[in-house]
Amino acid sequence: MMESRIESKNGIEYMAMQCRKHKAVLTDFGAVGDGKTSNTKAFREAIAKLTPQAADGGVQLIVPPGNWLTGSFNLTSHFTLFIQQGATILASQVESEYPMIPRLPSYGDARFASLIYGTNLTDVVITGNKGTINGQGKSWWLKYRSGGFNLTSRPLLIEILFSENIQISDINLIDSPMWNIHPVYCKNVIIKNIKIDAPIDSPNTDGINPDSCTNTLIEDCSVTSGDDCIAVKSGIDQFGIATAIPTQQLSIRRLTCVSPDSAGIAIGSEMSGGIKDVRIEDVTLINTQSAIRIKTAIGRGGYVKDIFARRFTMKNMKYVFWMTGSYKLHPIGFDPNALPEIRNINYRDMTAENVTISAKLEGIKKDPFTGICMSNVTMALSPTTKKLQWNCTDVAGVTSRVKPEPCSLLPSKGATMDCHFPMDKIPIESVVLNKCTA
């Protein structure tokens, strides 16, 4: 993939899905970058005034160096938000700066709008040359821990709904009040060269959460957080089942993750709309609770199938393989007879050092997880390792060249078998970005 930002005498060159005919600078709309003055009105006014030009070759709003305090603002179509190096968008800590918005169709609760929000959009780019969005999440975390919010009500940093042709790239995100990036019900999404940082004890600060999306590429990202680095979702229980929009055609590659209490990549637990055709490769995990954790429960319905992972390098892991069929959180009115389908899960070419537990694989009684495949996996155990390395119930599959020796429910099929990884590309991987100038 080409380098995504280049300095030139004509400005800052960067790579994007689309370039823009019109551009403006945030200060054109009265913004003050002192870190104290609220710029919510300036951001909203800038986008409102630029929107009429968007159909004429697109518009670009440049955030220059400075500290730009703001509450929630909405994006428009055919639009680029460019955050320059030395610029920081500071999220307001005033709750009234984040309007309450209706629940998502595949979830159950109303919630705060995210800091940067958009719905029913086409052709949106959020990028920069390593500019920053600072969520200033500490006050939100403290109030959440004291019982002031329910699980889903804190603002996210970036949330895009019912949209297509979305690019989020080349920026730093720090201290989000909750999740960092949440594309939901979107198509054709690129998320690349993103650095996400939050304290490892911060609550629910997931890095990137593709949710009921089709044709998504996440590449060259680094996440340190208090929750899952990437969490793949598609709605919860009766809401997700009724909405029935799966996450599919998802490629995750060249991810670095640190998350001592959560997963490198979580699949679920909100997976009631279905998750399929996920390719994950070239992942580095350090001090992370588990590599890929599949989370579901009776009542979820939906499916997780056709998951392919390869070339993982791991150090200091509590678990390597973890599947859970007993995730207990449910909304009122869920169907206790809705059983999830978990099948065709493939892992290959992985090494791990300082591992406490090789695998914890817990399917559902009378609804086992099937088609699990592991090949060419070597796990070196820590000095404090547990005696039981493979805890397997209600699962079925095969293995080859896996150390320590797997449980009897995953028998060896000899020294030559390799688990499948697709050789074709999903469409978004073939998109060629354009050289643009800010």
Distance CA 70, CA 135 (A): 10
Phi then psi for residue 239, to 5 deg, are: -70, -45
Convert the pLDDT of each residue in 169-208 to its tens digit.
999 999 999 999 999 999 999 999 999 999 999 999 999 9
Look at residue 1 and tell me whether its pLDDT is greater than 80.
Answer: no
Output the pTM of the full model. Answer: 0.96
* Residue 280: C-alpha distances to residues 14, 175, 189, 219, 347 (Å): 26, 26, 16, 10, 9
- In this structure, how many other beta carbons lie within 10 angstroms of the beta carbon of residue 216? 26
**pLDDT-derived band of residue 8, with 50, 70 and 90 as boundaries?**
very low
Distance of CA 126 to the CA centre of its chain: 15
Return the pLDDT at 25. Answer: 98
Active-site hit among 227, 277, 306, 394: 227
Name which residue leads in pLDDT, 36 or 150. Answer: 36
Write down how long the chain is. 438
Return the pLDDT at 108. Answer: 87
Helices in 90-217 by DSSP H: which ranges?
Answer: 138-145
Q: Catalytic: 109?
A: no
Give the residue among 245, 254, 107, 283 at the shortest CA–CA distance from 194: 254
Summarize the confidence of residues 11-25 as an average pLDDT. Answer: 96
- In this structure, how many other beta carbons lie within 10 angstroms of the beta carbon of residue 281? 18
Cβ partners under 8 Å of residue 9, min gap 6: none
**pLDDT-derived band of residue 386, with 50, 70 and 90 as boundaries?**
confident
Distance CA 205, CA 201 (A): 9
Convert the pLDDT of each residue in 226-245 to its tens digit.
999 999 999 999 999 999 99
Summarize the confidence of residues 140-155 as an average pLDDT. Answer: 85
Return the pLDDT at 2. Answer: 33
**Please, what's the largest Cα pairwise distance for the chain?**
69
Return the pLDDT at 152. Answer: 61
Q: What is the mean pLDDT of the chain?
A: 95
Return the pLDDT at 151. Answer: 58
Distance CA 332, CA 429 (A): 40
Distance CA 334, CA 298 (A): 10
Look at residue 39 and tell me whether its pLDDT is greater than 60.
Answer: yes
Least confident of 25-29, 109-113, 376-380: 109-113
Q: ∠ CA(215), CA(217), CA(218), 5° rounding? A: 145
- Percentage of residues in the chain having pLDDT higher than 90: 94
Convert the pLDDT of each residue in 266-299 to its tens digit.
999 999 999 999 999 999 999 999 999 999 999 9
Look at residue 5 and tell me whether its pLDDT is greater than 60.
Answer: no
Look at residue 9 and tell me whether its pLDDT is greater than 60.
Answer: no
**pLDDT-derived band of residue 7, with 50, 70 and 90 as boundaries?**
very low
